[in-house]
A and B are shown apart, each in its own frame.
Chain A
Amino acid sequence: MKRRSKTVRKARSPARSAPSAKHGGKPDALDALVTAAAQALALPIDPAWHGSIKFNLQLALAMAARIDEFSLPDDAEPAPVFHA
């Protein structure tokens, strides 16, 4: 177990107090992403929802990774084609 620093810590802002879904451990990068994205989107979220949102985002990113790893040429067109 990590020893607590004796340094006085700055009070954490509510945004950084978002809990991790992992057994109450340290917030991880995904927790930070949820918090930051909520701020960027001006989307107030109840801290009680954080774990569920993180779970769903984790799932989406896992799905997206399956696509991200698939090599496509630079000139691959997105399926929806716009006509002016």
Chain B
Amino acid sequence: MATNESSDNKNQLITLMLQTIENFVPLETRPAPEGMAIYLYELKKEILRQNPKFKFINSYNDYIFRILTLLDYLDVSKEYDTESHGKTVHMICRETRDIKRIDPLWKINPTSVIEFINSTLSASARK
């Protein structure tokens, strides 16, 4: 229960931090960068007090973003070419090997990644 409460609290703090960024614009209502810097500092300090290891981009998220970028690099507009294609696939292999060395049991959750991609797309489409 205590873990859930702490997790909920952290979740709220992260939400607050992201909403702060979200409210940066329109410009007329945003505080000066110095004021905002102090506010973000306080929020982040509280998040790290609850979990000193917390990172907005941890190794796993970093890996996912890198993989998505690399998958976009794969050029299929031309005929299949072993050399250029091989370089990107090799980088994907290396990134995957590195992340699985941190935790051999960790797996990509394709559904969650797709949901995330779709949520950002639909968030834009809603406008």
Pairing of A with B: no
Chain A interface (Cβ within 8 Å of chain B)?
none
Residues of B within 8 A of A (CB): none
